[in-house]
């Protein structure tokens, strides 16, 4: 199992970014996937998840601004982020994660399958 995130960068408040997570060793269309983030000095918190059937879920603070999706042909999941705010600044990780584990604010990357992360910085 390998997960490789990309697409991070620096944007001004109100800007947009699209993160990608390329998966190998398994199929994203038959496995639930998650995006999580870690801001400086804070825990690794759940951001969004996508079920096998394509249903998506989001933490309250990103609802209406972030959209998670997947491309089965490319075996890649995405996180489209708009109306970014300074508090969205974090390292963003994708993970292969069952729905029962979604919602935590304190994951450890020592357990499970995680990518290496991509930095998102929102500042004026």
**Model pLDDT for residues 13-40, shown as the tens digit of each residue:** 999 999 999 999 999 999 999 999 999 9
**Model pLDDT for residues 57-84, shown as the tens digit of each residue:** 999 999 999 999 999 999 999 999 999 9
CA pair distance 32, 22, nearest whole angstrom: 14
Three-state secondary structure call for residue 12 = coil
At residue 111, the pLDDT reads: 87
3-state secondary structure 72-111: CCCCEEEEEECCCCHHHCEEEEEEECCHHHCCCCCECCCC
Q: Are strands 44-50 and 17-24 parallel, antiparallel or unpaired?
A: unpaired
CA pair distance 89, 111, nearest whole angstrom: 24
């Amino acid at each position: 199992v390998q997960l490789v995130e990309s697409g991070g960068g620096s944007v001004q408040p109100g800007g947009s970014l699209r993160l990608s997570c390329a998966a190998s060793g398994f199929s994203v269309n038959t496995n639930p996937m998650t995006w999580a983030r870690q801001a400086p000095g804070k825990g690794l918190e759940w951001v969004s998840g996508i079920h096998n059937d394509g249903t998506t879920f989001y933490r309250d603070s990103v609802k209406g601004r972030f959209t998670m999706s997947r491309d089965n042909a490319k075996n890649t999941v995405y996180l489209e982020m708009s109306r970014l705010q300074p508090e969205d600044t974090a390292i963003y990780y994708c993970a292969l994660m069952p729905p029962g584990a979604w919602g935590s604010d304190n994951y450890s990357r020592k357990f499970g399958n995680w990518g290496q992360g991509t930095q998102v910085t929102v500042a004026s």
